[in-house]
Chain A
Amino acid sequence: MTDPALEVINLKKAFGGLAVTQDVSLVVRPGERRLIIGPNGAGKTTLFNQISGDLRPNSGQIRLFGADITGLPPYRRAHCGLSRTYQIITLFAGDTIQHNVSLALLGLRPSRWQIWLPMSHYRDIAVEARQALDAVGLLHLADRSISDIAYGERRRVELAIALAQRPRVLLLDEPLAGLSNAERTTVKSLIASIPRETTLVMIEHDMDTALDLAETVTLLNYGRVIVDGKRDAVIADERTREVYLGT
């Protein structure tokens, strides 16, 4: 029996008196496409932040392919194969798109500590960066500055950056947010074409759009897991309707 790609065990987080994550447990199998849904304030992004290491849980455990990463700082988790995208785009605004992706590639290489040679010395980084951009259809914009491109294109750069590291587990935080219909179709097909070696866990606020990408769904509300299981089962479940329609 292989280890789950991502396991969250009895995670609890509270800010002062406000409990934002209440005893959350999740098991994501390797290669799975998991969607986490829930109304505003359900604690989805807080959960992601604890998984990525930006936030420390009060108690509980997080395991990546069996290894306990609960105490690890974010940068160590990247080296364990965890990658994420952000809801608010946090790219390197003054740099070219290719440089953005190159930085992502540099992050896992020992050459990031190189104080003599410039990044341009490492041809393989440039080659891989262009490949990553090609995979998201942005190769033609490689030398443009981030601030020069459209919002939808920036979302694709986010994706390219995360995928460039060939992560074992990829957290996608609202990857479709703010996109036009056309852009949405493009990004969705990109997500759908991500290889099975990468396990996907997505947050999406808008259920309808993201559902076709999901195999399994977890419904959160008030920091708790309400329903968890195969997509169709969760959708049909009464509790899901309760949460969203308040009936």
Chain B
Amino acid sequence: MRWITAALIGGSLLLPPFFAGDFYINLASQILIAAIFALSLNLLVGFGGMTSLGHASYLGVAAYISALLTNRYGFGHGAAAIISISGTVAMAGFFGVIALRATGLGFLMITLALSQVLWGLAYRMSNVTNGDNGITGLTRPAPFGISLENPVSFYWFALIVATMAFVMMTIFVTSAFGSSLMGVRDQARRMAALGFNPWLIRWITFVYAGFWGGISGLLYVYYHKYIHPTSLSITSSAEALLGVIAGGSGTLGGPAVGAALVLLLKNYASAYIERWNMLLGLVFLFIVLVMPTGIAPGFSRLVARMRGERIDDRSRA
């Protein structure tokens, strides 16, 4: 069943460039970027049991570093990407040390505070970040000389990166380390008694999640050719979190589906309603109250029920 779903989704991802117009291909690219971001967050939320409200930090910082290096300091995209990701990972390491002094709600509050500090910096350090104007006039890289300017080629690029991201995150989560991560999520004290180092396991996961968050940030800035402090805002983190929860933090692919839904909602809603934030808030309330485990588990629960199987809501790799 799983394989059929995977094949169907995989297959449908190959379709847009052949059947859709530019608008939809671009939308599909944005979905892929949001999916990587949500999947990276789910490493923390679903598999690590660490809910972060500051994940946008990694997307935003990677994007800003790349933008500044290419736009203002004349770096090539390759070097800029490497420096940007290294910087983002270093920041994730540092933030991880701070945030992991606490767990649960304390962790959440610290990640939120850290991310808000970054957001404030992006606004205020306008001689560096251009503040509220954002940084415009950015370019897309041309890997191996292939231009990514047109929607179709960008889409293939995003699809390749997204597939790599999905595969690598899946390997991570299904590995022996992944088993220890989920063990720590479920019974940290017990795991410590068994010889696992809960702090280090969480920290490594935190950094890895930051890495992929940074990758999604690079794709983000390449796609939009523009970066603004809003990408670091709590709304940005919240959208990803909503995607994770709506799609189902308990599954591998759920967050991607959720992220797609949130993006589509945002796109369509903004055509009719000005108040996206309000809608986002209402959707949050709805999902949490009505479908707390998300849509993907809801779907697999339905299938399980049809088959007469037992239902287990926790994240399974």
State the A residues within 8 Å of B (CB): 52-54, 73-75, 78-79, 83-84, 86, 90-94, 99, 103-104, 106-108, 111-119, 121-122, 145, 161, 165
- A115–B177 CB distance below 8 A: yes
Closest chain B CB from A130 CB (angstroms) = 17
Residues of B with C-beta under 8 A to A99? 179
9 A-B pairs with the lowest CB-CB distances in the bound complex, closest first: A107-B195, A107-B194, A78-B195, A74-B192, A114-B176, A115-B177, A119-B176, A75-B192, A90-B190
Residues of B with C-beta under 8 A to A118? 174-176, 178-179
Residues of B with C-beta under 8 A to A108? 194-195
| Residue picked from B183, B193, B198, most chain A C-beta under 10 Å | B193
Residues of B with C-beta under 8 A to A145? 310, 312
Interface residues on B, range: 20 to 34
The docked-state distance in angstroms from the alpha carbon of A117 to that of B176 is 6
The docked-state distance in angstroms from the alpha carbon of A122 to that of B180 is 14
- A92–B195 CB distance below 8 A: no
Residues of A with C-beta under 8 A to B176? 106, 111-115, 117-119, 121-122
Within 146-205 of B, Cβ neighbours of A (below 8 Å) are at 171-172, 174-180, 183, 186-187, 189-198
**Does B314 reach chain A (CB closer than 8 Å)?**
yes
Residues of B with C-beta under 8 A to A78? 192-195
- B175–A114 CB distance below 8 A: yes
9 contacts between A and B (CB under 8 A): A53-B192, A75-B191, A75-B192, A75-B194, A75-B196, A94-B316, A107-B180, A111-B176, A118-B175
| Residue picked from A75, A78, A161, most chain B C-beta under 10 Å | A75
The docked-state distance in angstroms from the alpha carbon of A116 to that of B174 is 8
Q: Tell me whether A107 and B196 are in contact in the complex, defined as CB-CB below 8 angstroms, given that A54-B189, A115-B177 are known contacts.
A: yes
Residues of A with C-beta under 8 A to B187? 90-92
Residues of A with C-beta under 8 A to B174? 118
The docked-state distance in angstroms from the alpha carbon of A211 to that of B82 is 66
> What does the 1/0 interface line of B293-317 toward A look like (CB < 8 Å)?
0000000000000000010101010
The docked-state distance in angstroms from the alpha carbon of A107 to that of B186 is 15
State the B residues within 8 Å of A (CB): 171-172, 174-180, 183, 186-187, 189-198, 310, 312, 314, 316
Closest chain B CB from A98 CB (angstroms) = 12
Q: Which residue of A lies closest to B197 (CB)?
A: A75
- A84–B175 CB distance below 8 A: no
Residues of A with C-beta under 8 A to B180? 103, 106-107, 112
Of the residues B172, B175, B177, B195, contact of A75 by C-beta under 8 Å: B195
Of the residues B177, B186, B196, B310, contact of A92 by C-beta under 8 Å: B186
- A113–B193 CB distance below 8 A: no
Closest chain B CB from A46 CB (angstroms) = 15
Closest chain B CB from A141 CB (angstroms) = 16
List 16 additional contacts besides A106-B179, A122-B176; criterion CB under 8 Å. A74-B189, A75-B194, A78-B193, A83-B193, A84-B193, A93-B186, A107-B191, A107-B194, A112-B176, A114-B175, A115-B171, A115-B177, A117-B176, A119-B176, A121-B176, A165-B194
Q: Tell me whether A73 and B192 are in contact in the complex, defined as CB-CB below 8 angstroms, given that A92-B186, A94-B312, A116-B171 are known contacts.
A: yes
The docked-state distance in angstroms from the alpha carbon of A53 to that of B194 is 12
Q: Tell me whether A112 and B196 are in contact in the complex, defined as CB-CB below 8 angstroms, given that A103-B180, A106-B180, A117-B176 are known contacts.
A: yes
Closest chain A CB from B188 CB (angstroms) = 10
Of the residues B177, B194, B310, B316, contact of A161 by C-beta under 8 Å: B194
Closest chain A CB from B207 CB (angstroms) = 12
Residues of B with C-beta under 8 A to A73? 192, 197
Residues of A with C-beta under 8 A to B191? 75, 103, 107
| Residue picked from B190, B194, B198, most chain A C-beta under 10 Å | B194
Residues of A with C-beta under 8 A to B192? 53-54, 73-75, 78
Closest chain B CB from A32 CB (angstroms) = 21
Residues of B with C-beta under 8 A to A53? 192
